[in-house]
Amino acid sequence: MINKHNKPIIIWLLTGCLLIFIMVIIGGITRLTNSGLSMVDWNPIMGFIPPLNDADWNLIFDKYKLYPEYQLVNSHFTLQEFKSIFFWEYFHRLIGRVIGIVFLLPFSYFLFNKMLSKKLLIQCLLLFGMGGLQGFIGWWMVKSGLVKDPDVSHIRLAIHLVAAFLTFAYTLWVALELIYENEKRIDVPYLRKGLFTLFGITILQIIYGAFVAGLNAGFIFNTWPLMGNQWIADAVTTMQPFWNNFINGLGGVQFIHRYLAYVVVGIILFLALKSSKFKLNKLQLKSIKVLLIVVFIQFLLGIFTLIYAVPIWLGVTHQVGAFLLLGTIVFSLNSFKKPI
């Protein structure tokens, strides 16, 4: 039974999860439509206000013309074409600001009315710090594409994406702690350690997903299960030093992303088989079953995204799948957390 005192806090936290989810979707669309460099200024306060008239539009379009993306890639753009990419980046940043407001106003209310325990207060302050850092990382990422190369650093893109996923994961964790605070858990250290391992490898897989997106590595070797006609394409190991293939090489990055998917699926299948040997409660059994369903769907989405050469709708859906998979892992971790 959920504590009535905590119910508004739970709704607040889950609303934050939903908004982060929406922001990740919009961020994926922004990336796949090449819209991320259309806003060349960072105005945390005044950025709320979109262009309101022709003079405003011409001003921001003239600013855009000063940067490499326009000069090297989009010099043919009309104002109307510029508006189409500006919309997604503006919407992406707007959601970020909305998240800030949705966090601060209820937080202030809960704090004023002494509804937050010391532990929850510390958790909320950490969430606030993670959200603020995410805004800074987003601009730091955009800046990397405003210098010489009209494309953002795939490493900064990965940091930006993982920061969003971790903020979501921690927000969900705090909410789940309140929702299931009275749940009697069966202590299974073996499965708990396995789930922590799964969490870490999934974060690594998300990082490589961002590398694939940032380097456009999803447009090569659009076959499965082979990379072209090989299990390990020659292009995977062409760069020197060797490790550079797996940071900056298109073939190497796609290779890691492909095969980490097998590792994630394998770990979940292994945990599911092992779980049958323990007497688990309903919540724990449910979390394992949901994990199996979500990872199966996500694996299929990854295959179709690859073989159809990353159409926007599939690319975004695949990213949503990663988001849901991480959320399911957090749910499972919470259901197996050590009883107090």
**Which range, 39-43, 324-328, 335-339, has the best average confidence (pLDDT)?**
324-328
CA 258 to chain centre: 18
Q: Say which DSSP state 339 is in.
A: P
Let me know if 205 is exposed, middle or buried by CB neighbors in 10 A (0-12, 13-18, 19+). buried
The pLDDT assigned to 1 comes to 61
CA atoms of 30 and 313, how far apart (whole Å): 12
> Of the residues 148, 182, 216, which one is the last residue of a structural domain?
182
* Three-class SS state of 227: strand
The whole domain housing 80 covers 1-182
Same domain, 22 and 155: yes
Return the higher-pLDDT residue of 37 and 196. 196
The average pLDDT across 10-24 equals 94
Please choose, from the candidates 45, 150, 49, the residue with its C-alpha nearest in 3D space to the C-alpha of residue 101: 45
Rounded to whole angstroms, the maximal C-alpha distance in the chain is 69
Cis, bond preceding 311 (omega within 30 deg of 0): no
> In this predicted model, what pLDDT tens digit does every residue of 259-280 receive, in sequence order?
999 999 999 999 999 998 988 9
Residue 2 has pLDDT above 80, yes or no: no
> CA 239 to CA 246: how far, in whole Å?
9
Query: What is the arithmetic mean of pLDDT over 108-125?
Result: 92
Report the pLDDT value the prediction gives residue 226, as an integer from 0 to 100.
94
Q: How far apart are CA 257 and CA 299, in angstroms?
A: 11
Place of tokens 């447009």: 219
Q: Are residues 299 and 158 in the same domain?
A: no
Domain end, chosen from 165, 182, 199, is at 182
Residues 267 and 140 in one domain: no
What is the chain's mean pLDDT, rounded? 92
Q: Angle between the 7-32 and 154-179 helix axes, to the nearest 10 degrees?
A: 160
With tokens 């292009």, the residue in question is: 235
Q: What is the mean pLDDT of residues 24-36?
A: 89
Looking at 18-22, 35-39, 112-116, 148-152, which range is the least confident one?
148-152
In angstroms, the CA 154 to CA 165 distance is: 16
Same domain membership, residue 107 and residue 216:
no
**Token pair listed for 133:** 């850092």
Taking CA atoms, 34 is separated from 89, 308, 312, in Å, by 9, 19, 11
Query: Is the domain of 55 the same as that of 114?
Result: yes
Judgement on whether residues 253 and 319 belong to the same structural domain of the protein: yes
pLDDT of residue 185: 84
Whole-angstrom Cα distance, residue 268 to residue 87?
Answer: 39
> In this structure, are 173 and 210 located in the same domain?
no
Number of folded domains in the chain? 2
Query: Residue 323's pLDDT is what?
Result: 94
Is 10 within 8 Å of 61 (Cβ atoms)?
A: no
pLDDT for residue 135:
87
Residue 108: the pLDDT is 94
Lookup: tokens for 254: 């796609």
pLDDT band at 34 (very low <50, low <70, confident <90, very high): confident
Question: Do 84 and 70 fall into the same domain?
Answer: yes
Q: Is 168 buried (19+), middle (13-18) or exposed (0-12) by CB count in 10 A?
A: buried
Evaluate whether 180 touches 334 at the Cβ level (below 8 Å): yes
Residues of the chain with pLDDT > 70, as a percent, come to 98
pLDDT digits (tens, 9 = 90+) for 191-235: 999 999 999 999 999 999 999 999 999 999 999 999 989 999 999
**Which percentage of the chain shows pLDDT scores above 90?**
74
pLDDT over 80 (residue 47): no
Mean pLDDT calculated for residue range 242-248: 95
| Domain shared by 162 and 28, yes or no | yes
Contact at 8 Å (CB) between 141 and 153? yes
Does 152 lie in the same domain as 207?
Answer: no
Range 19-36 average pLDDT: 90
Asked if 166 and 198 sit in the same domain, the reply is: no
Q: Under a CB-based contact definition with an 8 Å cutoff, are residues 302 and 263 in contact?
A: no
At which of 157, 182, 207 does a domain end?
A: 182
SS3 184: coil
**Block residue for tokens 């590792």:** 263
Residue 87 CB partners (closer than 8 Å, separation 6+):
35
pLDDT single digits (tens) 136-187: 898 899 888 888 888 889 999 999 999 999 999 999 999 999 998 888 888 8
- Tell me the C-alpha distance between 108 and 294, whole Å: 36
Pair (235, 320) in one structural domain: yes
First to last CA, the chain: 18
